[in-house]
Amino acid sequence: ETGVTQTPRHLVMGMTNKKSLKCEQHLGHNAMYWYKQSAKKPLELMFVYSLEERVENNSVPSRFSPECPNSSHLFLHLHTLQPEDSALYLCASSHDPLTDTQYFGPGTRLTVL
Amino acid sequence: GENVEQHPSTLSVQEGDSAVIKCTYSDSASNYFPWYKQELGKGPQLIIDIRSNVGEKKDQRIAVTLNKTAKHFSLHITETQPEDSAVYFCAATIRPANNLFFGTGTRLTVIP
């Protein structure tokens, strides 16, 4: 176990649904990340939070909305998704947002029907 | 931005043989190159990394080499074991920054 947990592990939703992904880190880290992992494509960084403030947003569609209420928790709120949003969503954390190793959670497998 | 290419996409080796995975990067300013291993149902885990001021780094059966002139770096696994079977990702970034640019992954299968 890496100390980063994600729930749920699997999620199936319709295009009109609203759902949320949750990530929790038990490592005392200060930075958290959301990545999207699609088949045969590189991992794509979506959002970076440092000390609960968003520091990077890599042009992600507004149907993905992150929330970081404290340094241990990170959410990804989903609404009106498209089938092409189906992917594995990975959360990661690091002690320092600029220089430290990122530790990944197991991911949430999302399927949009 | 940085573009990382990774080859091969799949690799099968006999147990005990060596495996080599290669990556190239486009931005000569990149200075940090981690390698991640992703097992089925798990997130990627860092297995080794190298900084641009070093040409080679070794950790037991795993080694990474870096050629800054050619802008490529490689992962070498010796004496492979079935538990080495996984998907391996290379990445590159310019420190200080933590926006990792990943390759597309190599699925390694070690045949007992």
Tens-place pLDDT, residues A79-93: 999 999 999 999 999
CB contact under 8 A, B104 and A98: no
Q: Is the pLDDT of residue B71 over 80?
A: yes
Of the candidates A2, A99, A106, which has its C-beta nearest B95's C-beta?
A99
Confidence of residue B46 (pLDDT cuts 50, 70, 90): very high
Of the candidates A33, A43, A91, which has its C-beta nearest B89's C-beta?
A43
Q: Which residues of B49-75 are buried (b: 16+ CB within 10 A; e: fewer)?
A: bbebeeeeeeeeebbbbbeeeeebbbb
Between strands A10-13 and A108-112, the pairing is parallel
Mark out chain A residues that contact chain B at CB-CB < 8 A: 2, 4, 31, 33, 40-43, 45, 48, 56, 58, 90-92, 94, 96-107
Token pair for B94: 């310019």
Residue A78 confidence (pLDDT): 95
The residue written with tokens 């900084």 in the block is B51
CB contact under 8 A, B34 and A101: yes
Contact A110, A38 (CB under 8 A): no
Token pair for A75: 């959410």
Q: Enumerate the residues of chain B whose CB falls inside 8 A of the CB of residue A57.
A: none
- Please tell me whether the peptide bond between A83 and the residue prior to it is cis, using omega within 30 degrees of 0: no
For residue A19, give Cα distances in angstroms to A58, A102, B25, B46, B106: 21, 26, 37, 30, 32
- Residues B44-50 have a mean pLDDT of 94
CA pair distance A71, A5, nearest whole angstrom: 14
Token pair for B58: 């070794």
- Residues B40-54 have a mean pLDDT of 91
Q: Enumerate the residues of chain A whose CB falls inside 8 A of the CB of residue B41.
A: 106
Q: Enumerate the residues of chain A whose CB falls inside 8 A of the CB of residue B102.
A: 42-43
CB contact under 8 A, B43 and A92: yes
pLDDT in tens, chain A (113 residues): 679 999 999 999 988 889 999 999 999 999 999 999 998 888 999 999 988 888 777 789 999 999 999 999 999 999 999 999 999 999 999 988 776 789 999 999 999 99
Question: What residue of A is the nearest CA neighbor of B4?
Answer: A42
The least confident of B4-18, B39-53, B70-84 is B39-53
- Please tell me whether the peptide bond between A61 and the residue prior to it is cis, using omega within 30 degrees of 0: no
Residue A55 confidence (pLDDT): 79
Quickly count: other Cβ atoms within 10 Å of residue A33's Cβ: 26
Residue A96 confidence (pLDDT): 81
Residue B4 confidence (pLDDT): 95
Token pair for B87: 């998907």
Of the candidates A40, A56, A96, which has its C-beta nearest B99's C-beta?
A56
The residue written with tokens 């999207």 in the block is A36
Confidence of residue B95 (pLDDT cuts 50, 70, 90): confident
CA pair distance A20, B13, nearest whole angstrom: 41
Q: Enumerate the residues of chain B whose CB falls inside 8 A of the CB of residue A45.
A: 99-100
Any CB–CB contact under 8 A between B2 and chain A?
no
Quickly count: other Cβ atoms within 10 Å of residue B83's Cβ: 8
Quickly count: other Cβ atoms within 10 Å of residue A58's Cβ: 14
The nearest CA of chain A is from the CA of B20 a distance in Å of 19
Residue A1 confidence (pLDDT): 65
Residue B54 confidence (pLDDT): 85
CA pair distance A19, A82, nearest whole angstrom: 13
Question: Which of A72, A60, A64 lies closest to A105 in space, CA to CA?
Answer: A72
